[in-house]
Amino acid sequence: MRRNISSDGPFEDVYGYSRAVRVGDQIHVSGTTARPPDLEDADAYRQARAALAIIEDALRKAGSSMAAVVRTVTYVTDIADAELVARAHNEVLGEVRPAATLVQVSGLLDPAMKVEIEVYAVEARQEAAEGDEPGDDVGSDRHR
């Protein structure tokens, strides 16, 4: 069953999209940016934290949480902001350690926007492969 989740963002009705869509155990969260007052004159760190808070709320409305995030895609308008955005990402998702991509783009919808983040989450617990323990980092030297 499909469930659309709104964040009451003003552009949702204009563009015709949902903040998030849950289908079964998968939750897809649309590209999310900060909104006023966390937009104007805010650095990329503050904007990223604001976007992640909106994402967290959308996941909660979908019956999930940041702990279920398996992938993030982050767009920045200035690659020099990568460290600020990475700090915000790590503060919120550092324990989760999702697959992540960060790329520079030429612009976002509003020139004041410096960062946009989209998230994919999966609620279902997958059976561990034989010999794997839940939470193991496959291929990681951290557990050796």
Does the pLDDT at position 142 exceed 50?
no
The pTM of the full predicted model, rounded to 2 decimals, is 0.86
What confidence tens digit (pLDDT) does each residue in 46-68 have?
Answer: 999 999 999 999 999 999 999 99
Give the chain's domains with CATH numbers. 2-123 (3.30.1330.40)
C-alpha separations of 12 from 68, 95, 113, 119 in Å:
24, 31, 17, 17
What confidence tens digit (pLDDT) does each residue in 85-112 have?
Answer: 999 999 999 999 999 999 999 999 999 9
- The answer to whether 69 and 94 are in contact (CB under 8 A) is no
Q: Determine phi and psi for 54, rounding to 5 degrees.
A: -65, -40
Count CB-CB contacts under 10 A for residue 26: 16
